[in-house]
A and B are shown apart, each in its own frame.
Chain A
């Protein structure tokens, strides 16, 4: 019943894609979850191991306090309830699992029932975020790189016992774009909470997707497949699209989706079956007798979650509130996009500080999201008062928009004071006397246009301003010229 071919069907619009994600996040601890070995990526194979993480007979796990603290920070950042928890053993044979069981939280996880708010303001439910240990890493030599065709396999246990938090979302995501947005947002949260370095390419974040489809408007969930091996946001998006197409094609041709685990092949751009529900492992979970229940008291939780930075959703709300206060109305979609960019790039503190110094909120946002965004590292170090001064020159008409953008680029590149930089670039607005002379010339040369302007035709103003700017080779500021023309008209 192989149906890996997945022709795009025009009827895809009749179907809704439902996605739930399981994200494994490696915690940025100094040592592993149950032993004192270094938790560091990229070391020579099997150099960061000891009797405990190799699962040698007689060894016993001791829980890493820092890992628990980071797990609680994640829970707090995702608005979860932090609860007393226990560890279980998940039993299955696999060469990269030293004990042939994984110590994981099962029916009593540390974090339950939170949510993640996307930039679209949609809240995605978080079922749980629990602690577990990572496995080693197997390299299959020969064959197709899969265990069954390999000549032999090499196992690196440096990763065995690295602390993970698995964050399980509810099936609240609708489609590939939203799934990608969720992972990007989650990544920001994990980095902001200090729990993770967020490096997907090093495997710090690993994503499995539960994908199903249902007729648009239906309330019931379809049969889902779990797709594994999604190593980037790009893989995640492609795999969801592909898997949804496969399921739609199956259903539309009268078939049915079989619950199974599928492997995403990035090179081939398709998923293939790993094991069906019937073949699924019976993990024989039972309480881990080598560990005691984890019952953090209020003080420990408070201490561990103290000093948690503002999460992206809260930071977006803070900017939206600034804009709304300035405009007297909620932010428009274009502004929402700018807000998301500014928060993503970590420029929101700059914007907030500049506005606090009197800068125009919309302008601060626009210059941050567009121009400052070109070199975010430098922009994050820009002095807010310098930024506010620049924005002030622009909004009072002393610099044109184009000029302000150039000055900002120069400030980011070489530093300095905005007025001084503008002067050096020859942008200093023409003195009123000089401008007056140019106006005389332009009015004389464009008599008909001037008459129409005086008669109340506002559209002609643009033409006149343009002529003045042309005559001054762009050194005159458009707003100042317009104001001078209006004054001359009386």
Chain B
């Protein structure tokens, strides 16, 4: 490891909330400790684009007032959380780590931001990401990369690298990210924390700045499986502001954490083990043994169609992105670079405001939707998407959950893949299929791999299979190498 293992102790979110609710610990104390750590170490790590200390202080004081007054301060009372900087926060800059949104303050809160506040969580700031969530290393941020707390020379993964690193560094016990092709699970694996992508439609997307609308889903980062379940229960559930939100309440996963996996049918996706590095593939085999030992029925399953997901994803996601990002035209908000006429103003603004990866995807997406190419690219990709969903359906006829590596390798050095976009895209090979199908999946830190870096194991489930997924994850967590995840103190779990 180059650099120090910059991983501080942090209490579990539920333990913190319990003590704040009981009046044993003040929300202000908890917050000041978090702000102190951020102040001390985030200059180096760059997890945050913005720390909203004053707002957080008044929110924490309000929690303490409620506790003192005997009012219910909410299930996450006083828990500091970090928000990926593509979640809209009222009157607080929301940048998507892009120059093009410089100076823009949304006039409204994302649904999840409102739900967090209502639950008593205290948001401390906005975390760094790959520009518009397009990337797997947080290096495409216009404001510079985030560093992996386990090794400052390495990437934290992406695109939600800032949130993953903030949890791994012990700044906050909880954070929110968004996952379009693996953007929660991959950085969670690389940073040794838990990361969950829920079923599409379980968490409202209202206020999440869109990258690829049919794939985007907001989800939790936490140091433990139980904390992730608690956070999902707060942010999930129907929202009338999002037409694709399911008419269901949030999945209650906290209550199944101790249920074990006796009789659970677990399929190991064999196709993903061939090309994964030895440590990542090995972790999956070891995880399978842990589940089998706990009474699960574990078998290998071949789902070769899933490997086609990557190419379909890199047509569908840019297509949607090219349309979603059209509104950054200099007319109403964010950056404007003037020109002699409106077309020139649009073009100059976009040329100056977007970074190279975003431009690459807008061009790709514009191309695949163009007259004469639509069917060959976008249409074909949608057919592959259907194929992936059918392949999953076939597997879930036999299994309750599937097991796979989250990533092909441990965290890679900063700069190692920036010259080769295709190499970078491969980092999402094992996470993308769940987004295409709209299924839930999560990464659980399980082992230490090459260079003493954490390795995550991925649990996949069919749509609304969160409870079975969390049952398996809880067993894996209990059987994991304790040194593989960010340390937890204060009576965790």
Contacts and interface: CB of A to CB of B under 8 A. Distances in A.
B348 to A, nearest CB: 13
A32 to B, nearest CB: 14
A56 B331 CA distance: 11
Contact of A290 (B86, B107, B213, B370): B213
Given A93-B343, A95-B331, A98-B332, A60 B323 contact: no
B77 interface: no
Interface stretch (A147-155, A295-303, A378-386, A397-405): A147-155
Interface stretch (A262-270, A281-289, A455-463): A281-289
B323 A101 contact: yes
Interface stretch (B7-15, B202-210, B278-286): B202-210
A58 B366 contact: no
Given A57-B106, A58-B206, A59-B206, A93 B326 contact: yes
A51 B106 CA distance: 9
Interface in B231-254: 240-244
Given A57-B88, A57-B209, A62-B240, A51 B107 contact: yes
Interface string A443-472: 000000000000000000000000000000
Interface in B199-227: 205-210, 212-214
Contacts of B48: none
A51 B209 CA distance: 12
A61 to B, nearest CB: 7
Contact of B214 (A54, A61, A148, A289): A289
For A55, A155, A286, the residue with the greatest tally of chain B CB atoms inside 10 Å of its CB is A286
Contacts of A153: 342
B54 interface: no
B131 interface: no
B326 A91 contact: yes
A435 to B, nearest CB: 80
A5 interface: no
A155 B330 CA distance: 13
Contacts of A60: 205-206, 241-243
B243 A57 contact: no
Contacts of B210: 57-58, 290
A54 B378 contact: no
A89 B343 CA distance: 21
A89 B365 CA distance: 14
A91 B369 contact: yes
B94 interface: yes
B489 to A, nearest CB: 36
Interface in A183-230: none
Contacts of A89: 323
Contacts of B96: 57
A291 B94 CA distance: 25
Interface residues of B, number: 45
B275 interface: no
B243 A284 contact: no
A4 B333 CA distance: 41
B346 interface: yes
A58 B370 contact: no
Contact of B243 (A55, A91, A93, A291): A291
Contacts of A289: 212-214, 244, 320
A254 to B, nearest CB: 32
Nearest to A292: B243
A68 to B, nearest CB: 13
Which secondary structure dominates where chain A touches chain B?
Answer: loop
Contact of B106 (A56, A101, A292): A56
A286 B209 contact: no
B88 A58 contact: yes
Which secondary structure dominates where chain B touches chain A?
Answer: loop
Interface string B405-440: 000000000000000000000000000000000000
Nearest to B207: A58
B69 interface: no
B477 interface: no
A61 B243 contact: yes
Nearest to A283: B371
A419 interface: no
B372 to A, nearest CB: 9
Contact of A101 (B107, B205, B214, B326): B326
B131 to A, nearest CB: 13
Interface residues of A, number: 31
A99 interface: yes
Nearest to A291: B243
Nearest to B216: A289
A57 B327 contact: yes
A54 B331 CA distance: 11
A289 B370 CA distance: 18
A138 to B, nearest CB: 10
B208 to A, nearest CB: 6
Given A56-B333, A60-B205, A91-B369, A290 B342 contact: no
Interface string A119-140: 0000000000000000000000
Contacts of B243: 60-63, 290-292
Contacts of B207: 58-59
Contacts of A156: none
Contact of A284 (B241, B341, B366): B366
A290 B369 contact: no
Contact of B369 (A51, A58, A100, A284): A284
A24 B413 CA distance: 57
Nearest to B101: A57
Interface in B132-146: none
A148 B327 contact: no
Interface in B55-105: 86-88, 94, 96, 101, 104
Nearest to B379: A286
B208 A58 contact: yes
B175 interface: no
Nearest to B333: A56
Interface in A19-64: 51, 54-63
B341 A292 contact: no
Interface string B327-346: 10101110000000111001
For B96, B209, B342, the residue with the greatest tally of chain A CB atoms inside 10 Å of its CB is B342
Given A54-B332, A57-B101, A62 B341 contact: no
A147 to B, nearest CB: 7
B110 interface: yes
B370 A284 contact: yes
Contact of A98 (B205, B241, B327): B327
Contacts of A93: 326, 329, 343, 346
Interface in B442-464: none
A110 B96 CA distance: 37
Interface string B383-401: 0000000000000000000
A478 B316 CA distance: 85
Contact of A56 (B107, B205, B366): B107
Closest 5 pairs between A and B when the two form their complex, measured CB to CB: A100-B326, A289-B214, A284-B369, A289-B213, A57-B209
15 contacts: A56-B107, A57-B96, A57-B210, A58-B207, A58-B209, A58-B210, A91-B369, A93-B329, A93-B343, A100-B329, A101-B326, A153-B342, A284-B322, A285-B369, A289-B320
Interface of B: 86-88, 94, 96, 101, 104, 106-108, 110, 205-210, 212-214, 240-244, 319-320, 322-323, 326-327, 329, 331-333, 341-343, 346, 366, 369-371, 374, 378
Given A58-B87, A93-B329, A292-B243, 16 more contacts: A56-B88, A57-B106, A57-B210, A58-B110, A58-B206, A58-B209, A59-B206, A95-B331, A98-B332, A100-B329, A101-B326, A147-B342, A284-B369, A286-B323, A289-B213, A290-B243
Interface of A: 51, 54-63, 89, 91, 93, 95, 98-101, 147-148, 153, 155, 282, 284-286, 289-292
